[in-house]
Amino acid sequence: MRDVEALSHGWSAPLVERDKRSQRRTFPAARTSELDVSIVVVSWNTRDILRGCLRSVFEQTRKVSFEVIVIDNNSHDGSAEMVRAEFPVVTLIANAENRGFAAACNQGMQVASARYTLLLNPDTVVLDDAISRCVGYADVRPDVGVVGCQVLEDESRITPTGFSFPSPLNVFLALSGLSRAFPRSRLFGRPELSWWDRHSERDVDVVTGMFMLVRREAIAQVGLMDEAYFVYSEEADWCYRFAQAGWRRVFTPCARIVHLDGGAKSTKQASKKMFVQLQKSTMIYHRKNRGLASWWLLKLIYIGSNFVRMIAWFVLSVVKLDSRDWHRSAAARAALVYHFTGSEPK
């Protein structure tokens, strides 16, 4: 039984059976072409922003050779048709079902031929030859397996990227609001390294998956993404494996991209499901990488947090007559149902 299935039964936490097939360890180390970078973009109902992303890739990637691979997870908004019509040089894989982010990324990496793979979100815009800059950065640092770049929300605001590995303490600090209340504290701000302004280079635990340049040799050593993660936490798990294998994960401000609306354009499609999926994926990460005790502690943290949020947001929805508060309360309630029964929102 795969991790995602094993952890879907409420309170039960069976021992994890390591299904190596989900990590595809036969990924070849040697490149199969002279290309510098294979750019893998996973899309689900993001036609218009995907178009902008691809245009920026072709317009802003000037100093390296590259291929673009789009994996469409059964979009119903014409995303695949748009790629076929407007970007005929792009390799398109059109899935008959939504296979999730990790599995779709693996599909792209399995056909990638370059010496680097770039995982790029469709809700991003590449600036100032960012891809070439990151390839050049990695070329002179052979111990770096993963590179992330500076991410802008708009012209004046930097989106924090590059985080600490998940842990019960880090989740508690984030959920309790302590990390936001004391952003300059090295203790309370540790989940998102909130004291760091992202203007300097830094080794990080986790490079954020919206822009993740990965060396081919590193992938060959640790394998592809674990498909037990449908969405969320897959890059944390992957970076944990890179760390175990001795590869550095580095953030550099030498390159920049824009993340549209902080990611809201691609994730707002199923907010309640995404809220539950985030917690589910974090639970999978802890059971796999931190053990049963951390898994149980995290479950208790989530149950307490969701109970408080469900009540608080419901009261606010009644007082303020704001439907957004009611939806937040409903999401917390759905998460509680998941943690007690394993049932997820449809």
What tens-digit pLDDT sequence spans the chain (346 residues)? 333 333 333 333 333 444 444 554 467 787 667 899 999 999 999 999 999 999 999 999 999 999 999 999 999 999 999 999 999 999 999 999 999 999 999 999 999 999 999 999 999 999 999 999 999 999 999 999 999 999 999 877 999 999 999 999 999 999 999 999 999 999 999 999 999 999 999 999 999 999 999 999 999 999 999 999 999 999 999 999 999 999 999 999 999 999 997 544 444 445 899 999 999 999 999 999 999 999 999 999 999 999 999 999 999 999 998 899 999 999 999 999 999 999 999 8
Query: What is the SS3 assignment for 254?
Result: strand
217: CB partners within 8 A, 6+ apart: 29, 145
Q: According to the model, what pLDDT value does residue 34 have? A: 84
Dihedral over alpha carbons 193, 196, 197, 198 (to 10 degrees): -70
Q: According to the model, what pLDDT value does residue 28 have? A: 79
Q: According to the model, what pLDDT value does residue 5 have? A: 33
Q: According to the model, what pLDDT value does residue 262 have? A: 53
Q: According to the model, what pLDDT value does residue 45 have? A: 95
Q: Are the C-beta atoms of 28 and 220 separated by less than 8 Å?
A: yes
* Cα 173–Cα 199–Cα 170 angle in degrees, nearest 5: 10
Q: According to the model, what pLDDT value does residue 23 have? A: 54
Q: Is the Cα torsion angle 235, 113, 202, 63 positive or negative in sign?
A: negative
Q: According to the model, what pLDDT value does residue 156 have? A: 78
Taking the C-alpha atoms of residue 57 and residue 118, their distance in angstroms, rounded to an integer, is: 11
Q: According to the model, what pLDDT value does residue 1 have? A: 30
Between the alpha carbon of residue 31 and those of residues 103, 147, 220, the distances in Å are: 21, 19, 10
Q: According to the model, what pLDDT value does residue 91 have? A: 98
Q: According to the model, what pLDDT value does residue 18 have? A: 44
Q: According to the model, what pLDDT value does residue 88 have? A: 97
Q: According to the model, what pLDDT value does residue 33 have? A: 74
